[in-house]
């Protein structure tokens, strides 16, 4: 009403032109520290777990199967898990979620 249309159109938002760039940088940092960094840490830990597996280790798969590693195939990333004396299954190394302490199967 008291301000002309031309004067109202030239007013800028608080923070100037760099305000949107600062907000974008803040969102990028939040994304990095809350989402990307923890996920990268989990992937690194899982890769070290897969590299440290050896024959005779007791493992837990993502499906909840507990067994002892009877054979590791290095060329195609598969392992054979012995669930009982006559039952052996083949799973991909990626599906092992944890290496259990020795004697876990006997305590169940």
Find the CATH number of the domain harbouring 89: 2.30.30.100
The pTM of the full predicted model, rounded to 2 decimals, is 0.67
Which pLDDT does position 104 carry in this prediction?
Answer: 87
Q: What are the strands, taking DSSP E only, across the chain?
A: 58-61, 66-73, 78-82, 88-92, 96-100
Residue 71 pairs with which residues in a beta bridge?
80
> pLDDT tens across 15-74, in order?
567 888 999 999 999 999 999 999 999 999 989 988 889 999 999 999 999 999 999 987
**58 and 45 together in one domain:** no
Q: What are the distances in angstroms from CA 13 to CA 3, 7, 16, 24?
A: 17, 14, 6, 16
**65 and 22 together in one domain:** no
**Cβ-defined contacts of 74-83 (< 8 Å, 24+):** 79/53
- Domain containing residue 41: 14-49
């Amino acid at each position: 009403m008291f301000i002309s249309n031309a004067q109202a159109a030239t007013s800028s938002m608080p923070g100037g032109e760099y305000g949107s760039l600062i907000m974008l940088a803040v969102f990028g940092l939040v994304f990095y520290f809350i989402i990307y960094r923890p996920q990268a840490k989990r992937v690194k830990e899982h890769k070290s777990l897969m590299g440290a597996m050896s024959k005779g280790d007791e493992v837990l798969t993502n499906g909840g199967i507990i067994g002892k590693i009877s054979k590791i195939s290095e060329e195609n990333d598969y392992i054979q898990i012995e669930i009982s004396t006559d039952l052996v299954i083949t799973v991909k190394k990626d599906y092992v979620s944890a290496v259990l302490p020795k004697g876990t199967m006997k305590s169940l």
